[in-house]
Amino acid sequence: MCGIVGYVGEGDAGQILVKGLKRLEYRGYDSAGVALMNGEMLIQKGKGKVINLEKNLVASKITGKIGIGHTRWATHGEPNDINYHPHLSESGKIALVHNGIIENYTSLRKKLIERGRTFKSQTDTEIIAQLLEEIFTTSDISFEEALQLTLKQVVGTYGLAIVNIDEPERVYVARKGSPLLLGIGDGEMFIASDASPIVEYTNKVIYLDDGEMAIVTKDDYQVKTIEDVKLTKEIHELAMGIEEIEKAGYPHFMLKEIFEQPRSIADCLRGRLNTSDSTIQLGGLVNVMEELVSANRIVIAACGTSWHSGLVGEYLFEYLAKTPVEVEYASEFRYRDPLIGKGDVLLVISQSGETADTLAALREAKAKGATVLGICNVVGSTISRETDAGVFTHAGPEIGVASTKAFTAQVAVLTMMAIQLGQAKGHIDNARAAELINELDSIPKKVEHILNESDESIQEMAKLFTYAPNFLYLGRTYNFPVALEGALKLKEISYIHAEGYPAAEMKHGPIALIDDMMPVVVIAATDHTNDKMISNIEEVKARKGRIISIMNDGNSDVKDLSNFCVNIPSTIDCFTPLLTVIPLQLLSYYIAVNRGCNVDQPRNLAKSVTVE
Ligand code: F6R
């Protein structure tokens, strides 16, 4: 979703902001803009990609050493030059960029119009610039105080970066519900909505919390609450390196991230699986193990791909730890006054750690007394900081909008949690633990094998299905969520309509769709449902559907019925999602490339969904 960058220093702010905005492109956006201060307030905007803003900036020859920039994902007001950020106050002296949504903007706007202010845009954001200017110019207070009063009047969420031409050395920032961090350089300071634009300049960062603001100059910063309480914030060290947010020779981030999975899964397991004594050590859960062991149930809340990994988690926890699990869409959970409280564990799963609905679910369950745990990829993210405890996936930055390596890392964490809990509850003895842990340790190699062995054949197969209008994905047990994930991957990057179903449900409706034009992807990893799955494949075949099977080496029954097969190595049933999802990721990637789609930044999608 929208991204923010800011710079104060001696460098060329325009160039630094544009570079930073390019690093934020992965979040999804439809326009970009910057405000630079150089004796006057200079604004430049561009429709679509950041490159257009860059061209406009070069052509206009404007420069400055201090400025703010934004990538906008339209919410209020169509994407056009007037609605793109930055927005100006009426006098043009104040410029700001905003992530989030101001909910009471209609009533505030009406009041300001009644008092004589003229608005240019249809955005909720402009209200902040206008209200701030009105408060500042009609009372005898500092700009900082005027900002605090403004923020007390607006209802909603914001990450804000603001410049005022009368204070040409400063950038003001504020946060409520939309992430912001400060990067501390040597004689220069950076502001961003996530670490990717900052990482090449400094690894020292400060994460702002909700209700906080900061006044930033080139060699100083002051953080305080909106209520004016001064704060001393911890300086964190970023673990990510610049190479992790570059393509490293791959044509797309998505392909790079698919191929990174042997390493990202290994990174996720590293130091946590102990094969010598068959134990699992998840440092983040040490203090909540008692709550987990005695939990009445675990409720998992997440969105999108993370929700799919949660569904795999349900099978894992129930099978390995005998703990009842419910999996909820975070957006549904939060709005239905959920029955959750002391004795329950809410486990939220989020790659970004910033998804608005997931964060709200977390807060809801926490307020009701549940123990709240998280599985997150982004260290320092809001969700990771607000949970009682949790586990990082350590998959590295995921830039492609379609989630791939985050999914497998989430499933790897859920698998470790379920085994550890199963051991702690006495459901897994040492011999079984040794079997599970040794096999889990071998998964990265098996993922590598699949990538090496099937990449080319999937690329060829994708050519045959590039123009298929629909796809059906079928799976059972652990691989039902993988069917959902395969369908989601295909639809989000190739815009082909795809549905995932539990294979047995096919007879209850979707079978009506099957004819000789319908590709049906069957996840047929051999397990106790193999015979049932074979019957389902027969049913598809009888209706001339084109069958693509993801199956274990040597499963001749499935092979004989299928038009196309992708082999995966055998593993313990409950680990199969870590393998079966890989061919599905590759299939959707190659189909989307063949269709000429923008794989890394699919239309209408945002990487981090920070609005409800
Ligand atoms: C799909 C995808 C989304 C995210 C969802 C939740 O490929 O990436 O469905 O999984 O928006 O995001 P996080 O995991 O950041 O909470």
CATH code for the domain in which residue 7 is found = 3.60.20.10
The alpha carbon of 320 and the centre of ligand 1 are apart by a number of angstroms equal to 26
Q: Of the candidates 366, 396, 428, which is a domain's last residue? A: 428
Tokens 């190659």 map to which residue? 590
Residues 214 and 343 in one domain: no
Residue type, 455: D
* Domain stops at, among 387, 413, 428: 428
CA of 228 to the centre of ligand 1 (A): 36
Residue 172 in any domain: the answer is yes
Q: What atom of ligand 1 comes closest to residue 307's alpha carbon?
A: 10
**Span 7-31, mean pLDDT?**
91
Residue 273 covered by a domain:
no
* pLDDT score for 385: 93
Q: Within this chain, do residues 292 and 225 fall inside the same structural domain, yes or no?
A: no
607 pLDDT more than 80 = no
The CATH number for 303's domain is: 3.40.50.10490
48 — pLDDT class (breaks 50, 70, 90):
confident
> What are the E-state strand segments in 351-400?
371-376, 389-392
- Rounded CA separation 394/405 (Å): 10
Residue 477 in contact with ligand 1 by CB distance below 6 A = no
Instruction: Say if 258 falls within a structural domain.
Output: no
Q: How far is the CA of 377 from the centre of ligand 1 (A)?
A: 11
Q: Average of pLDDT values for 289-307?
A: 97
pLDDT in tens, 266-289: 999 999 999 999 999 999 999 999
The confidence score (pLDDT) of residue 242 equals 80
Q: Binning pLDDT at 50, 70 and 90, where does residue 498 land?
A: very high
Q: What is the mean pLDDT of residues 224-240?
A: 94
404 pocket-lining for ligand 1 (C-beta < 6 Å):
no
Quote the DSSP letter at residue 378. S
Whether residue 219 sits in one domain with residue 178: yes
Helix, strand or coil for residue 87? Answer: strand
Amino acid at 227: E
* Ligand 1 near 331 CB (within 6 A): no
Question: Per-residue pLDDT for 212 more than 90?
Answer: yes
Are 166 and 72 part of one and the same domain? yes
> Which stretches within 38-98 are classed as H helix?
50-60
486 lines ligand 1 (CB under 6 A): no
Between the alpha carbon of residue 61 and those of residues 55, 64, 81, 140, 464, the distances in Å are 10, 10, 19, 37, 49
Q: What is the mean pLDDT of residues 499-509?
A: 95
Percentage with pLDDT > 70 across the chain: 100
Do 461 and 423 lie in one domain? The reply is: no
Query: Is any atom of ligand 1 closer than 6 Å to the C-beta of 351?
Result: yes
How many independent structural domains does the chain possess?
Answer: 3
In this model, does residue 79 exceed pLDDT 80? no
Residue type, 345: V
Question: Which pair of structure tokens corresponds to residue 55?
Answer: 């061209």
Whether 34 and 86 have beta carbons less than 8 Å apart is answered as yes
* Per-residue tokens: 567: 């082999």
Asked, for residue 165, whether it belongs to a domain, the answer is yes
Q: What is the pLDDT of residue 73?
A: 82
Residues 457 and 499 in one domain: yes
Domain boundary among 227, 244, 261: 244
Pairing of strands 31-37, 41-47: antiparallel
Burial status of residue 140 (CB atoms within 10 A of its CB: 0-12, 13-18, 19 or more) = exposed
Residues designated as active site: 2, 607
Residue 603: inside a domain: no
pLDDT at 612: 72
What integer is the mean pLDDT of 131-150? 97
DSSP result, 399-467: -SSS-SHHHHHHHHHHHHHHHHHHHHTTSS-HHHHHHHHHHHHTHHHHHHHHHHHHHHHHHHHHHHHTT
| Pair 421, 455 in one domain | no
Distance 580 CA to ligand 1 centre (A): 19
**Is 373 part of a structural domain of the chain?**
yes
Which ligand 1 atom sits nearest the alpha carbon of residue 303? Answer: 6
Backbone phi, psi, residue 176, to 5°: -150, 105
Same domain? For 344 and 397 the reply is: yes
Cβ within 8 Å of residue 440, ≥6 positions away: 269, 273, 412, 415, 416, 419, 575
| 303 Cβ closer than 6 Å to some ligand 1 atom | yes
Instruction: For residue 481, give its domain range.
Output: 451-598
Tell me the mean pLDDT in the region 404-412: 98
Backbone φ, ψ for residue 317 (5° rounding): -65, -40
**Can you name the residues that pair with 213 across neighbouring β-strands?**
174, 224
277 part of a folded domain? no
- In this structure, the answer to whether residues 456 and 417 fall within a common structural domain is no
Local structure of residue 507 (DSSP, 8 states): G
- Min mean pLDDT across 77-86, 229-238, 274-283, 350-359 is at 77-86
Q: Which helix (H) or strand (E) holds 349?
A: strand 344-350
Please, is 165 exposed, middle or buried when counting C-beta atoms within 10 Å of its C-beta (0-12, 13-18, 19+)? middle
- Indicate the top mutation candidate among 73, 355, 607 to test ligand 1's pocket, ranked by most ligand atoms within 8 A of CB: 355
Claim to verify: residue 181 and residue 218 sit in the same structural domain:
yes
Cβ contact 175:159 at 8 Å: yes
In sequence order, what are the beta bridge partners of 30? none
- Atom 4 in ligand 1: residue holding the nearest Cα: 304
Give the mean pLDDT of 451-479: 97
Q: How confident is the model at residue 245 (pLDDT cuts 50, 70, 90)?
A: confident
| Unique residue bearing structure tokens 């999608």 | 605
CB contact at 8 A, 489 and 402: yes
In the reported structure, the alpha carbon of residue 376 is separated from the centroid of ligand 1 by a whole-number distance in angstroms of 11
Q: Are residues 207 and 335 in the same domain?
A: no
Indicate the pTM of the whole model.
0.85
Both tokens assigned to 489:
């991957």
At residue 515, does pLDDT exceed 80?
A: yes
Report the interhelical angle of 405-424 vs 261-269 (nearest 10°). Answer: 30
- Mean pLDDT value of segment 338-352: 96
Q: Is residue 606 part of a domain?
A: no
For residues 577 and 443, what is the distance between their CA atoms, to the nearest angstrom? 11
C-beta neighbour count of 475 within 10 angstroms? 30
Tell me how many degrees the CA angle 566-569-570 measures, rounded to the nearest 5. Answer: 120
Q: Is the CB of 355 under 6 A from ligand 1?
A: yes
pLDDT digits (tens, 9 = 90+) for 448-461: 999 999 999 999 99
Q: Do 235 and 335 fall within a single domain?
A: no
Q: Which helix (H) or strand (E) holds 77?
A: none
Residue 29 predicted with pLDDT over 90: no
